[in-house]
Structure 1
């Protein structure tokens, strides 16, 4: 009797422990994944490598992988069998209207999307998809090494990565910054490579809850070698498992701290001046990123230099003032020196030492800033603010 009682208690203990550690019903494991790699534009040679890597992740982690380039697979009935659909370097217009509706309904049912690299170079005319992927591709420089910066120490999708992850890839810039709408997990350090266009705030991997489902995107994955990198494939696995509802992670947008520095608003169009790797232009309705922030460095004698917080470079009246202003100089010389003129109406104007001419928001602000005016008018006036 005593032995039976002990055995019964031991069995009860096992049941209780199992109940404590069992995954909840809402966190069922991922069992089926669809990898979609149709291209209607540029085709990446790494697509077969990506398919093989995801298939290997599946065999190691208990899910089957179906790879297809057939958009006819996007029906409500067929998609229902998958927890996650991966867009692997898709390009261009890959789904028709009926297929788009089926995929949108699939996400609305609580399922998941994972976008890899050129998934952001896809379906430019489908606004819903643009929201799902988070941001559309804009440009990229040549393949090169860069530093990827982890944004949180303990986030489940990136906690295994080093704080600074140095690797080689093709580094995408995007048409818009997705940060207000997504949880940014990784950013690029644009000072670690050449050719970036997003300045000091360059997201490259993010996640979000969207349209009733979950979406994970990474801009990494252009090269064939990416798919043999342990850190990269682990990142993909985490994205797949989270998008499929098997794991939990906070993918709500993070409240960003206030951006410091001085913002320059053009009187020509009441928009803020943006810097980065291109010419300065008054085109931003808000000064919410470092791309619209400068350090106004007092050089004495009424002269100043403007140092962009986007890339840490000084604004130059390039080609002795004959070319538009650009933040591309590491030190201050004659072409980086401007006389600050305090106007009676509280605005300021800048006269380039390079040619003695005033900086103008050319074409009522529609064109790049250039030092080519001999007198101060409305287009040569700017307002400085630190708020």
Structure 2
């Protein structure tokens, strides 16, 4: 009997571990230009979560962010081609506090064209969007000094990509972001600014993807420009300071096809895994303070509020298998109704990362009953 009880307790521990995947928020709300590819990116990250043991919550409606403490359950926030006023004042306040407490952030493509009214967001991202020429092929290059960063270890050193070559309003290196990917200026046609003009604004070589660890929100002592400096009327309590976590941004990801490309998937997965390994979040370090955001390795589903104001809140999957780690909140019906999606939706309030745990719990119960 003692042996059976020991085995049962062991299985319960395994069940808790299985249910305790790191949890990632995929945020795709856009006010302005609407990249259809942001939903393809979300689906790609959901699949990567299945394959690499992290859970995802897909949010396409900003008012959920207004609920105090809701963000604290996440190990990282991923802004996927968000644009314009993607944060309400209360949502922005909660997000700023989340980053100040050590939470992680990753931005994809148009995420740099977001929240211009909050300079701390520009500092978190590294730079604001400054424009782009027409869609075309260009050659992107891994920065030799940072070739060992997980976001670029599994991509070509000279990488041909079809999409938009983003220009930026300031140099992310002025905020101590480390550039891992640049673009060869001779490989594409810039019809909105000369190379000399771009170098003066965003630095050289031309930055495309970068990362930073620690001090994510503090304003620089001198002016950087490009919207990342605090405005004279910015209240001291809203300026943003510190932030011990990790930030990663990539300007790639304009087309839907890019999120079916193995190199692009390696790029975003490597960046996200680096963010998720930050010692500032509870799931990655036993030394993280108890007030730090993130999963607590005790299992369970994310705290989706029953009082959420999201329209037609639905929890479930857009795939027919391997999707126990996917939650959708406020995603438009037009997106959920894509071919093959509607049939697999399973309304629920607790459907994230629980599949393996239920199997282990069932086994444990059998041993106890014998």
Structure 2: gaps of 5 or more residues: 1-19, 217-242, 281-370
User: Which residue number corresponds to residue 303 of structure 1?
Assistant: none
How far the C-alpha of 1:40 sits from its partner, in A, is: 0.9
Q: Describe the superposition over 1:222-254 as per-residue Cα deviations: whole angstroms up to 9, x where unpaired.
A: 101110111111111111111122699xxxxxx
- Say which structure, 1 or 2, has more relative contact order (CA 8 Å, 6+ apart): 2
What are the residue-to-residue correspondences of 1:300-379 with 2, within 5 Å?
A: none
Verify: 1:147 aligned to 2:151, yes or no: no
Q: 1:80 aligns with which of 52, 62, 72?
A: 72
TM-score normalised according to structure 1 size: 0.54
Mapped to 1, the partners of 2:189 and 2:148 lie a distance apart of 30
Q: 1:221 aligns with which of 253, 258, 261?
A: 253
Mapped to 1, the partners of 2:266 and 2:166 lie a distance apart of 21
Structure 1: gaps of 5 or more residues: 1-28, 249-387
Find runs of 4+ consecutive structure 1 residues off by over 3 angstroms.
Answer: none
What are the residue-to-residue correspondences of 1:206-355 with 2, within 5 Å?
A: 206-209=210-213, 210=216, 211-245=243-277
TM-score normalised according to structure 2 size: 0.57
Q: Describe the superposition over 1:266-285 as per-residue Cα deviations: whole angstroms up to 9, x where unpaired.
A: xxxxxxxxxxxxxxxxxxxx
Size of the aligned set, in residue pairs, is: 220
Q: Residues 111 and 243 of structure 1 are in contact (CA less than 8 Å); yes or no, is this contact kept in structure 2?
A: no
User: Which residue number corresponds to residue 349 of structure 2?
Assistant: none
How far the C-alpha of 1:30 sits from its partner, in A, is: 5.9
SS at match of 2:172: coil
Q: Residues 37 and 87 of structure 1 are in contact (CA less than 8 Å); yes or no, is this contact kept in structure 2?
A: yes
User: Which residue number corresponds to residue 187 of structure 1?
Assistant: 182
Mapped to 2, the partners of 1:101 and 1:44 lie a distance apart of 26
Q: 1:247 to 1:167 in 2, by over 3 A?
A: farther
Q: Describe the superposition over 1:271-327 as per-residue Cα deviations: whole angstroms up to 9, x where unpaired.
A: xxxxxxxxxxxxxxxxxxxxxxxxxxxxxxxxxxxxxxxxxxxxxxxxxxxxxxxxx
Mapped to 1, the partners of 2:29 and 2:152 lie a distance apart of 28
Q: Residues 158 and 235 of structure 1 are in contact (CA less than 8 Å); yes or no, is this contact kept in structure 2?
A: yes
Verify: 1:201 aligned to 2:238, yes or no: no
Q: CA RMSD in A?
A: 1.8
Q: As a proportion of its length, which structure holds more helix?
A: 2
How far the C-alpha of 1:213 sits from its partner, in A, is: 1.8
Q: Residues 37 and 88 of structure 1 are in contact (CA less than 8 Å); yes or no, is this contact kept in structure 2?
A: yes
SS at match of 1:80: helix
